[in-house]
């Protein structure tokens, strides 16, 4: 669950990053349903990899986001990044490098004219898509 301004910030950051992949971090708190999360902040980050096919969240941006989230009583709950050429599904690299099974991994595909935002949980090699609810929109965002 997230607000429409945060959804727009995430997508806008991905568009701003073109032609390179863009990334950012999500902070929030557990949602009402088991396993769900309420996203309360989205921190755009620099892509230290400077690549159209890879991303690495700039370490200092990661630290700053973590500190800010902690100061506000939240925690980092996930990461988003763009796929500039492919669909919004985790790549083998995304799966291999997913550090935290409790995180939410959000993909924004810019392959088509309309950006597509989807979210996944990644536990080991298992990938499960989860519903993204945008407050103010009555249907899941895709």
Partner 1 sequence: MAVEVRLPNIFRPVAAGRASVRAEGATVGEVFEDLVRQYPELRASLLTPEGELHRHLNVFVNDDDIRYLGKLDAKVNDEDIVTLMPAVAGGA
- Residues found near partner 1 in the complex (CB under 8 A): 21, 23, 25, 49, 51, 53-57, 59-60, 62-63, 66, 79, 81, 83-86, 90-91, 93-94, 97-102, 105
Residue 8 Cβ vs partner 1, minimum distance, rounded to whole Å: 22
Residue 138 Cβ vs partner 1, minimum distance, rounded to whole Å: 31
Q: Which lies closer to partner 1 via its Cβ, residue 76 or residue 134? A: 76
Q: CB neighbours of 140 closer than 8 A, spacing ≥ 6?
A: 131, 132, 133, 134
Q: Which lies closer to partner 1 via its Cβ, residue 6 or residue 26? A: 26
Q: Which lies closer to partner 1 via its Cβ, residue 31 or residue 64? A: 64
120 within 8 A of 37, measured Cβ to Cβ: no
> What is the secondary structure of 36-53 as a DSSP string?
-EEEEEEEEE-BTT--SS
Residue 107 Cβ vs partner 1, minimum distance, rounded to whole Å: 9
136: left (phi over 0), alpha (psi -120 to 50) or beta: left
- Centroid of chain to Cα 91: 14
Q: Which lies closer to partner 1 via its Cβ, residue 102 or residue 133? A: 102
């Amino acid at each position: 669950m997230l607000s429409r301004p945060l959804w727009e910030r995430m997508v806008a950051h991905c568009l701003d990053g073109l032609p390179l992949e863009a990334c950012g971090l999500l902070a929030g708190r557990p949602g009402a349903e088991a396993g769900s999360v309420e996203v309360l902040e989205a921190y755009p980050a620099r892509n230290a990899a400077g690549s159209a096919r890879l991303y690495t969240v700039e370490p200092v941006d990661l630290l700053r986001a973590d500190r800010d989230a902690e100061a506000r009583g939240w925690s980092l709950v996930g990461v988003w990044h763009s796929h500039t050429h492919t669909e919004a599904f985790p790549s083998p690299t995304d799966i291999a490098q997913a550090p935290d099974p409790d995180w939410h991994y959000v993909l924004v595909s810019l392959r088509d004219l309309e950006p597509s935002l989807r979210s996944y949980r990644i536990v080991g090699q298992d990938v499960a898509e989860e519903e993204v609810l945008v407050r103010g929109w009555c249907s899941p965002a895709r």
